[in-house]
Every structure is written in C-alpha cells, then in structure tokens.
C-alpha cells in the first residue's frame, strides 16, 4: 500500500489495508488514521446517502472522519469539547455530547465513534444523538464492547443493555448492530460469544 493510495479519498479502505497500515506505521499514524476514517465513513454510506447531507460528528475533534465525510460529499459539523481547529476547520462547535448545542432534527446523519467508553452515561448521549437527528435520518454509533480484549475503558459499555434501551424506544428503528471490522460474509460467526464482543457498530433510523 502506497502513501498515494492512502491519501486518495476515493479509494475504498479495507480491513486488510488497516491491518497492514497499523503494522507499518512506526511513529507516524497518519496513514492508519486516514484509512480508518475512510473505512468508518464507508460503513455509514452502506446505510444512507451522504452526498449533500449534513453530518454531525460528535466527539470527532481530531478531524479525521470529518475529512472523510467531506470527501464523500457531505457537509460535516464537528461537535467536541476539545476540537483541533487546524484539523476540523470552520464547521466546528465546542460542545458537550450530553447537551449538543444544536436544534432538534438538525442532522441528516449523526455519527459518534469511540466516545461511549469515555463517559459515565452512554444512554444519555445516545438519547441526545437521536434528538438532533431529523425524522428518517440516521444515527451511527461505534464503540468497543467492555467484554472485548480492548474494551476495558474507563466506563464499561455493554452492548446488550444499550440495544435493549434502543429497542424500547418508539421513535427509532434498529437498522443494524454488528462488529465494526468483521467481513459481512462471515457474520454468521457472531453466534460465537468471544467474537461477538469486539468493536461494535450500531445504526438507527429515527422514525418520528
């Protein structure tokens, strides 16, 4: 994999590329971060159109996913308590995920990656993500399950209670819940508990 291919926003990123980039990165993680952001945005694009849409990236203050969303044709607004302005650009809002400084229904797509394990109330954050998403818009969450090898973050995030909460809401439909870096043809293996516990992606559609 060349540096040029990693920098090309139109090329698809694969799990194999991510593994190779992680192994080769040395002290510079730029190639890996750009590929990972592109891969994450591809996962979102499987479930909804991004061209011309407004995406709110909650907790994306490093700007990598914002860059990938923009490359996919979306307008991306980053909300983060500690953004990096040089990376996120002018469409950045300093704010807390529990009280997003946005109107209800402001986003076509609300995206939140690797935040739930750093906060004490993940359900409260999810409720706020749903609030700022328009009817028929999409909410995309990504996190690492507490039971996985890398999941012992400051606050435990367990998939089953989160999904139970979401299924109990009448204003969202669960579109997809599965592993973030698992090839789709092999998802039948998720019946194996140890495989089910890794990085998780959840996609919701707000229905009212």
Inform me whether the pLDDT recorded for 190 exceeds 50: no
Q: Are 58 and 115 in contact (CB under 8 A)?
A: yes
- Confidence class of residue 189 from pLDDT cuts 50, 70 and 90? very low
Q: Could you give the CA distance from residue 50 to residue 42 in angstroms, rounded to a whole number? A: 10
- Confidence class of residue 199 from pLDDT cuts 50, 70 and 90? confident
Look at residues 8, 11, 66, 58 and name the one whose alpha carbon lies nearest to residue 37.
Answer: 66
Which residues lie closer than 8 Å to 97 by C-beta, 6 or more apart?
58, 59, 79, 112, 115, 119, 125, 128, 129
Q: Are 61 and 84 in contact (CB under 8 A)?
A: yes
Q: Minimum mean pLDDT among 84-93, 148-157, 188-197: which range?
A: 188-197
On whether the pTM is more than 0.85, the answer is: no
pLDDT score for 182: 63
Q: What is the pLDDT of residues 50-109, one digit of tens each?
A: 999 999 999 999 999 999 999 999 999 999 999 887 787 778 999 999 999 999 999 999
Q: What are 159's two structure tokens?
A: 């998939």
Query: Average of pLDDT values for 145-164?
Result: 72
């Amino acid at each position: 994999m060349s540096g040029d291919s990693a920098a090309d926003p139109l090329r698809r990123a694969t799990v194999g590329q991510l593994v190779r980039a992680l192994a080769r990165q040395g002290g510079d993680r730029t190639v890996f971060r750009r590929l990972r952001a592109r891969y994450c945005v591809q996962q979102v694009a499987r479930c909804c159109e991004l061209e011309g849409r407004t995406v709110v990236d909650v907790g994306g203050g490093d700007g990598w996913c914002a860059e990938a969303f923009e490359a996919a044709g979306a307008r991306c607004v980053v909300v983060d308590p500690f953004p990096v302005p040089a990376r996120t650009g002018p469409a950045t809002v300093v704010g807390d995920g529990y009280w997003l400084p946005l109107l209800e229904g402001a986003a076509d797509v609300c995206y939140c990656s690797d935040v739930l394990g750093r906060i004490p109330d993940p359900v409260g954050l999810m409720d706020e993500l749903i609030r700022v998403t328009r009817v028929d818009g999409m909410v995309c969450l990504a996190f690492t399950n507490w039971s996985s090898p890398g999941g012992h973050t400051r606050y435990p995030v367990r998939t089953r209670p989160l999904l139970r909460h979401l299924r109990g809401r009448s204003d969202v439909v669960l579109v997809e819940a599965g592993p973030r870096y698992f090839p789709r043809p092999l998802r039948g293996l998720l019946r194996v508990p140890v495989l089910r516990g890794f990085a998780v992606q959840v996609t919701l559609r707000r229905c009212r």
